[in-house]
């Protein structure tokens, strides 16, 4: 062994050694991942080569997993150049993340934007190959610092074809069931890991105070207490933080690796053990810090006008829960607080989040978040970099990464941004990477590919759908309920734009950023198909999307199910001042419900105007954005399970009342916060 101390030479020449070895993508392709397919001589040669390489290298503390994380960080930091540090602070989009770019600029992180995929309907194997190719670029750098790959998995692994799409948060808040949410986090982590990805931009812990906001469906509730309950998704995603953990320290559990115990016997290398523990957890990201759900008129990325006490009492509490649970990262909001852009708010990002709350993970910007510090965006990029990094943002999502790197490098070299600020950012990023086990396990393997869209996860999503449904009206009086519906009937009508539309059912942030309409986006069960699966074989189901009243009257239907709602949307594209049902939804309600007993099911990301139609509707159910498992809707409509959901949002009478939240002096809702009728399962 060349170099190293006498103690280190003894370490490598010991008779018995334990080596933990990463398998390369080539040795872990789907055809060879089973241990039984390795020949012992070949594996022995591979292990010997690994051992030889290790013994030739100079021992570095940061590469030693037995060293404390703090020691590893300090050791690695002492070796890094300014270019390598700034590279770690840079997150770039997948589409520009070539191995050469990763190597040349020492890029620390890569993301998939909404709908950014390696191929249309890409398989998990295709995702893994892409992630590993990018990672190889990072590992070819001088210090071999692995990159971390992030993706929006906000209701399941929603960018990925055939993933389980869970109900959006607006529905999950209805359940008030933290254990269910934790299970959803666990399932989501498995499906994300199934594609080789280790970091998710979730959960959104916004407290939506105005449903006109286009992101209101990403919020669990208008009540911060429910949002606090729902932070239990974080230990689902990351694992349960040990009880003795220091406050604010990030935590990600369950990082597996291929471990061997090797023994030299009579000059020969023998394998004693070999075990693969797949990594099943991901780093999470609480977002968007702070006050994103409180903007004036619900305008996305706008201004939240509220006192400090109001900000801390409504919008801050869930961050305290998230930090206690070891959340690895926190994303800053595009919005402003009393006119000050959050991406430039040093008092809240550094002063409060980092110093007062002792958060020790890393703070990440939103996409082009620092660009939007100025109006118009990118009008003074030098100022944006100085203000954003100076505020305490550690990792920056950028499109033009060379510009960001050049500007930040200039500012550090000219003492505009102090080196201490760069070091703080990089330490935090490295801390998360070390805690996650990325240095020991940088390459993704194929051992979890079967977890994507698994039946077990779909059953969990179906359960979640059942628990998110809220029954708002059930017959003209309590003694004459329409629900649950009988499975056996002569002929029933199913109508409405949303009855047979998986895309609308899933909503935005599904396969693409804005979501899609139709049934070709991914695999799942529409409400129409669910109804057909549920009713008695002798029951005739007639589907007509928008029938006229004559058709309804002439067919002598036993009853009708009308499924209407909003189109798919995300972010600013969902901002709405009128909150109306999509056409021809209102007309369908009038045509059908004016002629036959009907239940209306609303598929929407928030409360919408319903008061004008209520008198003509026999029963009203809100299903929110249930995701791929529409069978959960039919499970409850037809009485296999009872309705249990209670509104986690106030249902207004008129948009003129907004904003209106529980506890407000002018509170006069159509259906109040906490309202929800219940039914019992049908016996037999």
Q: Is the dihedral of CA 324, 329, 334, 336 positive or negative?
A: positive
Q: How far apart are CA 303 and CA 614, in angstroms?
A: 35
366 is catalytic: yes
Q: How far apart are CA 187 and CA 593, in angstroms?
A: 40
Task: Show the CA angle centred on residue 278, arms to residues 276 and 281, nearest 5°.
Answer: 155
Contact partners, residue 81, CB within 8 Å, separation at least 6:
none
Q: Nearest CA to 510 among 94, 90, 162, 25?
A: 162
324, 247 in Cβ contact below 8 A? Answer: yes
Query: Which is the catalytic residue, given 445, 571, 629, 635?
Result: 571
Query: In 469-542, which residue ranges form alpha helices assigned H by DSSP?
Result: 502-506, 527-534
468, 167 in Cβ contact below 8 A? Answer: yes
Sort strands 16-20 and 303-304 into parallel, antiparallel or unpaired. Answer: unpaired
Q: What is the DSSP string of 613-651?
A: GGGG-SEEEE-----SBTHHHHHHHTTSS------SS-B
C-alpha to C-alpha distances, 362 to 87, 102, 192, 392, nearest whole angstrom: 15, 20, 21, 9
Q: How far apart are CA 447 and CA 193, in angstroms?
A: 9
301 is catalytic: no
Count of H-run helices and E-run strands, the chain:
22, 20
Q: What are 320's two structure tokens?
A: 């305290």
Q: What are 361's two structure tokens?
A: 């993970």
CB count in 10 Å sphere of residue 661: 19
**Helix, strand or coil for residue 112?**
strand
Q: How far apart are CA 554 and CA 47, in angstroms?
A: 77
Q: How far apart are CA 154 and CA 259, in angstroms?
A: 33
Query: Which is the catalytic residue, given 84, 222, 232, 366?
Result: 366
C-alpha to C-alpha distances, 236 to 63, 183, 358, nearest whole angstrom: 28, 6, 22
- Environment class of 108 (CB within 10 Å of its CB; exposed 0-12, middle 13-18, buried 19+): buried
Residues with a known catalytic role: 366, 571
């Amino acid at each position: 062994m060349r170099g190293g101390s006498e103690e280190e030479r003894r370490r490598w020449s010991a008779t018995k050694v334990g080596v933990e070895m990463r398998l390369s993508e080539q040795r872990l392709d789907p055809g060879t991942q089973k241990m039984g397919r390795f020949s012992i001589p070949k594996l022995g040669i591979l292990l010997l080569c690994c051992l030889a390489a290790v013994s030739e290298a100079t021992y570095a503390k940061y590469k030693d997993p037995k060293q404390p994380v703090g020691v590893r960080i300090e050791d690695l930091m002492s070796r890094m150049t300014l270019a390598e540090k700034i590279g770690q602070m840079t997150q770039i989009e997948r589409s520009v993340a070539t191995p050469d770019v990763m190597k040349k600029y020492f890029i620390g992180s890569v993301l998939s934007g909404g709908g950014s995929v390696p191929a249309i309907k890409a398989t998990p194997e295709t995702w893994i190959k892409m992630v590993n190719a990018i990672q190889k670029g990072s590992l070819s750098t001088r210090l071999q610092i692995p990159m971390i790959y992030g993706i929006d998995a906000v209701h399941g692994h929603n960018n990925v074809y055939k993933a389980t799409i869970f109900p959006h948060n607006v529905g999950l808040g209805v359940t008030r069931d933290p254990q269910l949410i934790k299970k959803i986090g666990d399932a989501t982590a498995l499906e994300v890991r199934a594609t080789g990805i280790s970091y998710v931009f979730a959960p959104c812990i916004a407290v939506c105070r105005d449903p006109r906001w286009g992101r209101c469906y990403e919020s669990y509730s208008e009540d911060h207490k429910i949002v606090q309950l729902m932070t239990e998704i974080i230990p689902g995603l990351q694992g349960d933080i040990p009880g003795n953990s220091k406050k604010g320290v990030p935590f990600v559990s369950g990082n597996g690796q291929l471990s061997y115990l090797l023994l030299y016997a009579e000059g020969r290398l023998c394998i004693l053990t070999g075990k693969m523990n797949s990594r099943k957890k991901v780093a999470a990201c609480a977002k968007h810090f702070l006050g994103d759900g409180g903007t004036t008129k619900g305008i996305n990325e706008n201004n939240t006008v509220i006192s400090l006490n109001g900000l801390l009492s409504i919008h801050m509490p869930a961050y305290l829960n998230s930090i206690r649970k070891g959340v690895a990262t926190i994303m800053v909001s595009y919005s402003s607080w009393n006119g000050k852009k959050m991406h430039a708010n040093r008092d809240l990002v550094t002063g409060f989040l980092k110093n007062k709350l002792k958060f020790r993970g890393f703070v990440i910007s939103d996409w082009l978040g620092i660009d939007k510090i100025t109006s118009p965006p990118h009008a003074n990029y030098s100022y944006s970099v100085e203000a954003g990094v100076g505020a305490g943002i550690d990792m920056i999502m950028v499109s033009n990464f060379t510009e960001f790197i050049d500007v930040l490098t200039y500012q550090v070299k000219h003492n505009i941004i102090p080196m201490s600020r760069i070091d703080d950012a990089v330490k935090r990023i490295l801390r998360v990477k070390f805690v996650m086990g990325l240095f020991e396990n940088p390459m993704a393997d194929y051992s979890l590919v079967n977890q994507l869209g698994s039946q077990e996860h779909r059953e969990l999503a179906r359960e979640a759908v059942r628990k998110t449904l809220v029954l708002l009206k059930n017959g003209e009086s309590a003694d004459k309920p329409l629900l649950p519906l009988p499975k056996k009937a002569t002929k029933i009508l199913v109508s409405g734009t949303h009855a047979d539309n998986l895309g609308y059912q899933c909503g935005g942030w599904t396969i693409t950023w804005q979501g899609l309409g139709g049934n070709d986006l991914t695999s799942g069960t529409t409400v129409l198909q669910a109804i057909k699966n549920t009713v008695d074989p002798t029951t005739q189901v007639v589907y007509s999307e928008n029938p006229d009243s004559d058709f309804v009257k002439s067919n002598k239907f036993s009853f009708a199910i009308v499924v209407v709602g909003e189109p798919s949307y995300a972010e600013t594209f969902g901002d709405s001042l009128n909150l109306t049902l999509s056409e021809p939804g209102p007309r369908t309600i009038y045509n059908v419900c004016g002629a036959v007993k009907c239940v209306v099911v609303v598929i929407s990301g928030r409360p919408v105007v319903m008061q004008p139609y209520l008198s003509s509707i026999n029963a009203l159910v809100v299903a929110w954005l249930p995701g791929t498992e529409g069978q959960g809707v039919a499970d409850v409509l037809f009485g296999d399970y009872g309705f249990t959901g209670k509104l986690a949002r106030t249902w207004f009478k008129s948009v003129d009342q907004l904003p209106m939240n529980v506890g407000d002096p002018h509170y006069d809702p159509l259906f109040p916060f906490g309202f929800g009728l219940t039914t019992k399962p049908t016996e037999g």
